[in-house]
Structure 1
Amino acid sequence: MPFTVADYVLKRLSQQGVDTLFGVPAAFCAPLFDAVGSHGIKAVVTAADLEAGYAADGYARTRGLGAVAVANGVGMLSMVNAIAGAFVERSPVVVLNGGPNAANLANLKDFDVLFSHSTGRPDGDLAAYQLVTASAARAGRAADVPALVDNAISTAIRAKRPVYVEINRDIWTATCPAPAGALPVTNPAAGTEQQLAATIVGLVRAASAPLVLVGTEIQRYGLADKVADLIAKLGVRWSAQLLAKSVLPEQGNGWVGVFAPPNSLPSAAGAVANADLILMLGCVFPSSYATLVSGGVNRIVTAYDGKVKIKNAAKQNAELGALVTAMVTEAARQAPMPVPAAVDPAAPAATGPLTYRQVFDRIGAALDASWLVVPDTFLGVASAANLPVKGRDAFLCGAVWASIGHSVAAAVGASFGSSRRPLVVCGDGGFHMTAQALSTMVRYGRNPVVVVIDNGIYGFEQFLIDSGYFGNAGAQPKPYVVLNRWDFVAFAKGLGVPFARSVDTAAAFDQALAAAKASNTPGLIVARVDPHGLPAELS
């Protein structure tokens, strides 16, 4: 059989370790799905386009590179939100689209005849994805494909961001040469790293209370071991952003907890507030960091996106891996400074009616090295930041883009990309967004456990709009944050989920979580809490 354009795309993906293509197939990209089996790649068809994007994102965060293909127009525009989150949070997803052919474009131009799912603009999908990817391009001829695909996949890996590839629907099965040579997947050093490392380490050594803040690029670029070595050789206190929780094991001297303002543990908040030098490595800055970053330039050194900024100085080019390597060498020239022991909070016992605090206390008590915690954006996200996860890469979240519903669908992808078992914790409002992902878990025999905290409202929105509602049993929520009450257990059973249980006490929650773990199948636990209750971090 001839080697085709579809074969070229899939071969390049498989060479980079991708073994799963997520999506919702449609006529324009069907030949791509037809060809997956020849390349050791399985197609996972999700229950919705948005879910496909989130799943590919979850896979990319755990595997290193993900791929997704949905219908042009209707599917692609539905999925933009998921890819935007991947762009912001440095998740390399290859978005594949079957685009219009020459006749489609000619009829649109000459006669205003819309091709399938068209908005009437010839580059509608392409233009949309240019906003949320590091590279977006269209291949109209088979001869264009090798260079375009190679550049896209290489860019995704080097930039740790999604890319978009649109291929003329007529050329998927056209003959194409096989890939030649390896892709360039590393960023070259800028030549500034040695001098910058000497300057930065000197500033750390001269500071009386320095702190290293670990960001998600450390995980994305595979620099965790080197950063752990750097922290040990410097002898500094260290924290992590929520997006980077468990990039390093949360233990050992100097660990102060996750810094997730405005609801950080006092140990982390105090360490950041009192630091006279903060070295931020690979960080992405959410809006909650605005005060710290804009008001603390005289004590902050940042290294991210291939740039280094030392206090008030101008940004300089520097490759992060080369910089960290140089800093380790520089730090080894002196003995480490002494630092306090790690923060290690203990979980209370299971007593009384179920509350937000109890849910997270009980999850914390049950965590072991088999779990990958996947929290949603909801009232409990600050509590999730303080969960005692075990080991490295035990946590996945959308902390910066903060799109509710990400967790359930991302867990689908993570279940294929990680050896850990996803444990989702989300609010009932977020669950409403992507609940159909349970169906995908059942269909493909995946085993995430989804904990839905059921309080009947969009709790985070109510908190942001009027936090006085919480703690006041007589107060009424804003009418537009009230949810339609689902029978979650019946819903899950209807999708074929083998284990589904609703609980309202701490002891029952413990029993349900243990039973769900033992089942080794998809599971749903509905944790019913008082609508006026708040997590401890927000109380």
Structure 2
Amino acid sequence: MAFTVADYILKRLTQQRVDTLFGVPAAFCAELFDAVGAHSVKAVVTASDLEAGYAADGYARTKGLAAVAVANGVGMLSMINAIGGAYVERSPIVVINGGPNSVNLSNLKDFDVLFSHSTGAPDADLNAYKLVTASAARAGKPSEVPAVVDNAILTAIRKKRPVYVEINRDIWRMACPMPGQPLSPAVPAAGTEEQLAVTIVQMIRSAAAPLLLVGTEIQRYGLADKVAALIAKLGIRWSTALLAKSALDEEGSGWLGVYAPPRSRPAVTNAVDRADLVVMLGCVFPSGWAALVRDTGRVVTAYDGKVKIKAGAKQSAEIGALVTALGVEAAKAPPANVPAGVAPPAPAPATGALTYRQVFERIGAALDASWLVVPDTFIGVASAANLPVKGRDAVVSGAVWASIGHSVAAAVGASFGSARRPLVICGDGGFHMTAQALSTMVRYARNPVVVVIDNGIYAFEQYLIDDAYFDDPGALPKPYVVLNRWDFVKFANALGVQFARSVNTAAALDQALADAKAATTPALIVAKVDPHDLPAELL
């Protein structure tokens, strides 16, 4: 059989260890799904287009690169929120779209005849995805496919961001040249890294209270070992944002905790505020970091291929080469003593009715190296930042884009991309967004454990709009934050989830977590808390 356009795309993806294609097949891209078996790629058909995007995101964050394909127009525009989050949070996904053919485009141009799912704009999907990808291109002929696909995959790997490839729907089965040499995604050094390293190491050693903020690029580019060695050589304390939580082992020396202003633990906030030098390696800056980043007199940043030293101009620098150079420069002097890391507080006994504090303390007590924590965006997100996770790469979080519902669907992809078992922690409002992902877990025999914290309201919205509600047990929430109450257990059972349990005491949650861990199937635990209760970090 001829080697086709679909074969070319799948071959290039498998060369980068991609073994799963997420999506919702449609007529324009069905041939891609038809071809997966010949390349030992599993097609995972999700319950919605948005779920497909989130699942690909979870896979990319755990495996290194992902692929997703849904219907043009209706599917692509539905999924764009997930890809926007992946763009912001440096998650490399290859988005593959079956696009219009020449007849479709001619009929649209000459007679205003819409092709399937068209808005009437010939480049609607292409132009939309240019906003949320590092590259977006269309291949109209088989001869154009190798260059378009190779450039997209290289860009995704090098920039750690999503890319978009649109294929003329008529050419999927047409003959295509075989791939040439394997792609070489290495990013060349800018040539500035050694001198920048000399400057930065000198500044750290001259500072009275330096601090290192480790960002998500350290995870994405596989630089954790080098940064851990750098910390040991320099004797520097370190922290992360929630997006980069568990980039390094948090039981290691120098660890302060997650920096998540305005809800960081006081010891972390004080350490950052009192630092006379803050070096940020590979960080994405969430809104709460604005005051720190603007404080240019004591800040060094390295991200997106640029380094900025205090108030100086940005200089080009490749993050991997810079971290290597920092390690070489730091090794020129004897290693300094690293302060002891901050140990998490001991959990309280598992007694009484469930509260937010008890939910997170019981989850924290249950954590071991087998779990991959996937927190959603909800009122407990600051508590999730302080969970005592074990080892590296133990958290997948949409902490900067902050799209509620990300966690449940991302856990689908993470269950394919990671050897750890996903443990989702989600508010009931966020669960409403992507609850049907439970069906995908059942269909493909995945085993995430989903903890839904049920208080009947969009509590984070209520807190941001009027936090006085939580001080008065008799107060009513804003009417537009009140949720329709689901019977979550019956809902999960209807989708085929056999382990579904509702709990309202700390002891019952302990037992449910232990039983869910012993099970080999997906599990849902509904943790009921009072709607006026708040996590400890917000009290």
TM-score by length of 2: 0.99
Q: Provide the rounded CA distance (Å) in 2 between the counterparts of 1:262 and 1:226.
A: 30
Q: Distance in 1 between matches of 2:291 and 2:157?
A: 32
Per-residue CA deviations over 1:1-54 (Å, capped at 9, x if unaligned) read 000000000000000000000000000000000000000100000000000000
Answer whether contact 2:234 2:338 (CA < 8 A) is retained.
Answer: no
Q: Deviations over 1:67-104 (max 9, x none)?
A: 00000000000000000000000000000000000000
Partner of 2:388: 388
Contact 2:231/2:338 (8 A) holds in 1: no
Gaps spanning 5+ residues in structure 2: where? none
Q: Superposition pairs for residues 204-223 of structure 1, below 5 Å?
A: 204-223=204-223
The equivalent of 1:241 in structure 2 is 241
The 3-state SS of whatever aligns with 1:354 is coil
Counterpart residue number, 2:456: 456
Q: In the alignment, what sits opposite 2:273?
A: 273
CA distance in 1, matches of 2:356, 2:183: 48
Shift in Å at residue 347 of structure 1? Answer: 1.8
Q: How does 1:95-114 map to 2 (within 5 A)?
A: 95-114=95-114
Number of residue pairs aligned between Structure 1 and Structure 2: 538
Matched residues in 2 for 1:104 and 1:239: separation?
Answer: 53
Instruction: Tell me which residue corresponds to 1:520.
Output: 520
Partner of 1:171: helix, strand, or coil?
coil
1:29-48, aligned counterparts within 5 Å?
29-48=29-48
Paired residue for 1:488?
488
Q: Are residues 1:25 and 2:25 paired?
A: yes
Structure 2: distance between partners of 1:336 and 1:177: 54
Residue 332 (str. 1) matches residue 331 (str. 2):
yes
1:217-271 CA-to-partner distances (Å, cap 9, x unmatched) read 0000000000000011000111111100001000222111111111111221111
Give CA deviations for 1:108-167 in whole Å, capped at 9, x if unaligned: 000000000000000000010000000000000011000000000000000000000000
- Give the secondary structure class of the aligned counterpart of 2:47: coil
CA distance in 2, matches of 1:379, 1:204: 36
The alpha-carbon deviation at position 338 of structure 1 amounts to: 2.8
Q: Is 2:400 aligned against 1:400?
A: yes
Query: 1:312: which partner in 2?
Result: 311
1:336 CA displacement:
2.9
- d(CA) in 2 for partners of 1:323 and 1:348? 43
Residue 85 (structure 1) aligned with residue 85 (structure 2): yes
**Amino acid of the structure 1 residue aligned with 2:427:** G
- 2:11 alignment counterpart: 11
Give the secondary-structure state (helix, strand or coil) at the position aligned to 2:264: coil
Rounded to whole Å, the distance in 2 between the matches of 1:340 and 1:308 is 27
In 1: Cα distance, 2:198 partner to 2:119 partner:
54
2:508 aligned partner: 508
Q: Deviations over 1:286-315 (max 9, x none)?
A: 111111111x11000000000000000000
Match of 1:125, SS state, is helix
Shift of 1:340: 2.6
Aligned equivalent of 2:299: 300
Q: How big is the shift at 1:339?
A: 3.6
CA distance in 1, matches of 2:522, 2:197: 47
SS in 1 for 2:486: coil
Amino acid at match of 2:382: A
Residue number in structure 2 paired with 1:181: 181
Match for 2:333: what amino acid? Q
| C-alpha deviation, 1:471, in angstroms | 2.7
**CA–CA distance in structure 2, aligned partners of residues 218 and 338 of structure 1:** 23
- The Cα of 1:333 is off from its aligned counterpart by 1.4
Tell me the distance in 2 between the aligned counterparts of 1:343 and 1:190.
37
5 Å matches for 1:37-436?
Answer: 37-294=37-294, 296-345=295-344, 346-436=346-436
Q: What is the distance in 2 between the residues matched to 1:233 and 1:178?
A: 47
Aligned counterparts of 1:374 and 1:261: Cα–Cα separation in 2: 20
Aligned residue type for 1:57:
D
Task: Tell me by how many angstroms 1:184 deviates.
Answer: 2.6
Matches of 1:348 and 1:518, distance apart in 2: 24
Taking the aligned partners of 1:286 and 1:111, their CA distance within structure 2 comes to 47
Return the alpha-carbon distance in structure 2 between the equivalents of residues 347 and 391 of structure 1: 19
SS in 1 for 2:500: strand
Q: CA separation in 2, counterparts of 1:293 and 1:378?
A: 25
Which 4+ residue blocks in structure 1 deviate beyond 4 angstroms? none
- What code does the residue aligned with 2:329 have? E
Q: Which amino acid aligns with 2:309?
A: I
CA distance in structure 1 between the aligned counterparts of 2:316 and 2:232, rounded to whole angstroms: 26
Taking the aligned partners of 2:338 and 2:159, their CA distance within structure 1 comes to 34
Contact 2:438 2:497 in 1 (8 A): yes
Separation (CA, whole Å) in 1 of partners of 2:373 and 2:398:
12
CA distance in 2, matches of 1:118, 1:181: 37
Task: Supply the distance in 1 between the matched residues of 2:339 and 2:312 (Cα, whole angstroms).
Answer: 31
Give the match's secondary structure for 2:28.
helix
Query: CA–CA distance in 1 between the matches of 2:363 and 2:272?
Result: 27
CA distance in 2, matches of 1:445, 1:470: 40
- Structure 1 runs not aligned, ≥5 long: none
SS state at 2:501 partner: strand
Looking at structure 1, the residues matched to 510 and 279 of structure 2 have their Cα atoms a distance apart, in angstroms, of 40
Q: Distance in 1 between matches of 2:333 and 2:356?
A: 46
Q: 1:349: how far off?
A: 1.6
In 1: Cα distance, 2:420 partner to 2:270 partner: 33
CA–CA distance in 1 between the matches of 2:230 and 2:435? Answer: 42
In 2, Cα distance between the equivalents of 1:90 and 1:62?
12
